[in-house]
Amino acid sequence: MDCLPGVENLGPNSTKDSLLTDVEGILYPKETTRYWEEIQNFKARPDDLLICSYPKAGSTWMQEIVDMIQHGGDPEKCARAPIYQRIPFIGFSLPFSIPTSIEKIEAIPSPRTLKTHFPVQHLPPSFWEQNCKIIYVARNAKDNMVSYFYFHNMINIIPDSGSWDEFMENFIAGKVCWGSWFDYVQGWWKAKDHHPILYLFYEDIKEDPAREIQKIAQFLEIDLSASVLNRIVLHTKFENMKTNPLVNHSDLPFLFDQTTPPFMRKGKVGDWKEHFTVAQSERLDNICAQLFAGSGLTFRTQL
């Protein structure tokens, strides 16, 4: 596990060399690789539920939806702790966190709900062995990339994004934290053929949250009444999550720079149109069309 020379492209102001580590071609925060063996040896339990997404694809949104479903649509129950404590992140410990997130997760009684950003090849093997249910959220490359661009400047454990053009090159080359978006979404798409994975799209949830929340509830074998479903839809609307300090990460100013655009930034499908040139947009469309041809995997970039 050495620092990857390629991260030098990541922008003029970054302190990248000390922040990222390469594991088999994927860049990770140091806080992930510091505990690599411990994470890989993690013992999943058969009734663990895992929420997975590429960074900035809507994982926090999904965490809040799932927690609401699991707690009968009761916002008071979901106010018991910040989202990163209710549904901990496996694969990342806050800097100087003692005990580590792994030790904390091991101490949680069953059934546990966890979140991760691991690509398929680096998911701790016990999740596969125990046949754990996984909810995967995918978001179209363009909006995902825009959101990730801003996030690089917001969170202080990964390098700054550099210019938009630089970031785009790094995103396309997979030289960003947690690896190539293209490999990532395809890896999980293929995995659903041999594992209980509910593969969802950010755009679909945005289009019809009630429909998608019902799908999640069915996957979890939980019945939702119409009134509970309505409460979940309302509670997890972007505008409500944006002002909810238990999900908007405003409580972690040492990790998330509060002077940049906020964690709950726009919450839209199609914000990419404010950032991409026509040529850049066509380039990404072409890459996706080539890579996903015949796979059945398609993304909507507008509603």
Footprint of ligand A3P (CB under 6 A): 53, 55-61, 143, 147, 150, 236-238, 241, 264-267, 271
Q: How far apart are CA 146 and CA 130, in angstroms?
A: 35
Q: Which is nearer to ligand A3P, 58 or 119 (CB)?
A: 58
Which secondary-structure segment (H or E) carries 212? helix 209-219
Three-state secondary structure call for residue 245: coil
- How far apart are CB 303 and ligand A3P at their closest, in Å? 12
Q: Which is nearer to ligand A3P, 104 or 265 (CB)?
A: 265
- How far apart are CB 109 and ligand A3P at their closest, in Å? 26
Strand partners, 134: 50, 197
Which two structure tokens, joined as six digits, stand for 65? 């939806």
Q: Which is nearer to ligand A3P, 52 or 105 (CB)?
A: 52
For the four alpha carbons of 198, 220, 62 and 234, in that order, the dihedral sign comes to positive
Name the one residue in this structure whose structure tokens are 């990248």: 16
Other Cβ atoms less than 10 A from the Cβ of 284: the count is 21
Query: Are 74 and 224 a contacting pair, CB within 8 Å?
Result: no
Query: Are 222 and 215 a contacting pair, CB within 8 Å?
Result: no
Residue 34 has, within 13 A of its CA and on its CB side, a CA count of 15
117 is catalytic: yes
Strand partners, 49: 113, 133
Q: Which is nearer to ligand A3P, 116 or 186 (CB)?
A: 116
Q: Which is nearer to ligand A3P, 200 or 241 (CB)?
A: 241
- How far apart are CB 115 and ligand A3P at their closest, in Å? 9
Task: From the candidates 117, 122, 235, 249, give the one annotated as an active-site residue.
Answer: 117
- How far apart are CB 152 and ligand A3P at their closest, in Å? 11
Which own/partner contact pairs does 223-230 have at CB distance under 8 Å and 24+ positions apart? 224/69, 224/73, 227/73, 228/72, 228/73, 229/73
- How far apart are CB 194 and ligand A3P at their closest, in Å? 25
Give backbone dihedrals phi and psi of 53, rounded to 5 degrees, phi first.
-160, 160
Residues tagged active-site:
117
